Structures are given as structure tokens and as C-alpha cells.
């Protein structure tokens, strides 16, 4: 597998460098962009399946702090892909579905082929994997993500 200019580990967030120290003394991005604190809302134009995925997954990601207003376009892509994957799973569960089937090739010989749904399922799963990582939807991904804690309400010293 050949690398490219994007190969290697992704850079850590500035907050993590500040927390753990900066032994390599590389310049920190103290002006890292922050998404607005606006509430995340379901965008228009989602397919029915994607809307179901949004309703199931968005509250989890918002609660974990991995979904903000700035992440909505990427989360829409995730929802559409997950809806496609869910549909493939339903297709496989249909009565009479066969993973393998016999077909005739151009010469008339019978050959055993894998159902195309399995190929689509594998491709969709591969496309979903980065989104699971980005939104912290696997245990390994959560161990690598740092989120800013919610600001605690100010408490009066006189209370």
C-alpha cells in the first residue's frame, strides 16, 4: 500500500497538546476553529431511512459531544450510508434469500456465485467505518476522542 502526503497519524487537537504537554515544541494552533453552540437539528432532504438512523444515533452522538452543528453534513452522509446498510440487512433476512446461487456463464457452464447484496454490504461497511471513528461509535474510537466538558454553572461562594 503506497502512502501519500496525508499518510501517517492525524494531528491531535490543540487542547490535547496543551493537556499532555508539547515535548516536540511544535507551534500550537491557539486559534483552532470551534463550531457554534447552536442545537443540532435534523436537516431537510434526508431519506426516510436516513431520518430513522438520525433519530436513533444523533441523540447518542450529541450526548457524547461528538456531533455539533459543524458536523451535520458529515453526519448526514453517515445516516444515508447506515440506512443503506440497514436496508441490505433486511434484504438478507427476507425469506428465500440465498447467499450462493448457481448461474450459467457465457459458455453454458454452471458456476456458483455469491449474491451481489454481500458485495454491497461489504462496500457499505467499509464506507461506514471512518464515520464510526469520527463520531466515536466504537469503543476504540471513543478512547482516542477528547471532547470539551460542558461548562459547569457558576456557583456563588455565598451560596
Q: Let me know if residue 25 belongs to a domain.
A: no
Q: Let me know if residue 156 belongs to a domain.
A: no
Region 136-158 average pLDDT:
72
Over residues 20-57, the pLDDT tens digits come to: 677 777 787 777 777 788 889 999 999 999 999 999 99
Backbone angles phi, psi at 4, to 5 degrees: -140, -175
Q: Let me know if residue 79 belongs to a domain.
A: yes
Q: What angle do CA 33, 36, 39 make, to 5 degrees?
A: 150
Spacing of C-alpha 105 from chain mean position: 39
The residues that bridge with 112 in the sheet, in sequence order, are 102
Q: Does an H or E element contain 112, and which?
A: strand 110-114
Region 66-79 average pLDDT:
94
Q: What angle do CA 140, 141, 144 make, to 5 degrees?
A: 95
Structural domain span for residue 68:
40-144
Q: 100: Cβ–Cβ under 8 A, 6 or more apart, which residues?
A: 112, 113, 114, 115
Domain count, the chain: 1
Q: Let me know if residue 107 belongs to a domain.
A: yes
Q: Let me know if residue 110 belongs to a domain.
A: yes
pTM: 0.72
Structure confidence at residue 36 (pLDDT):
81
Q: Let me know if residue 73 belongs to a domain.
A: yes
Over residues 6-18, the pLDDT tens digits come to: 667 766 666 666 6
Structure confidence at residue 86 (pLDDT):
97
Q: Let me know if residue 88 belongs to a domain.
A: yes
Distance CA 47, CA 146 (A): 31
Amino acid at each position: 500500500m503506497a502512502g501519500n502526503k496525508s499518510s501517517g497519524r492525524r494531528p491531535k487537537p490543540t487542547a490535547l497538546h496543551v493537556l499532555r504537554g508539547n515535548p516536540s515544541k511544535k507551534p500550537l494552533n491557539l486559534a483552532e476553529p470551534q463550531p457554534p453552540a447552536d442545537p443540532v437539528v435534523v436537516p431537510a432532504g434526508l431519506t426516510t431511512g436516513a431520518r430513522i438512523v438520525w433519530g436513533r444515533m444523533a441523540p447518542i452522538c450529541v450526548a457524547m459531544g461528538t456531533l455539533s452543528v459543524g458536523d451535520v453534513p458529515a453526519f448526514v452522509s453517515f445516516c444515508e450510508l447506515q440506512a443503506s446498510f440497514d436496508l441490505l440487512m433486511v434484504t438478507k433476512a427476507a425469506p428465500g434469500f440465498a447467499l450462493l446461487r448457481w448461474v450459467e456463464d457465457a459458455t453454458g457452464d454452471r458456476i456458483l456465485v455469491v449474491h451481489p447484496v454481500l458485495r454491497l454490504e461489504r462496500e457499505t461497511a467499509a464506507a461506514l467505518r471512518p464515520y464510526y471513528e469520527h463520531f466515536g461509535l466504537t469503543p476504540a474510537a471513543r478512547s482516542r476522542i477528547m471532547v470539551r466538558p460542558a461548562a459547569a454553572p457558576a456557583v456563588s461562594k455565598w451560596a
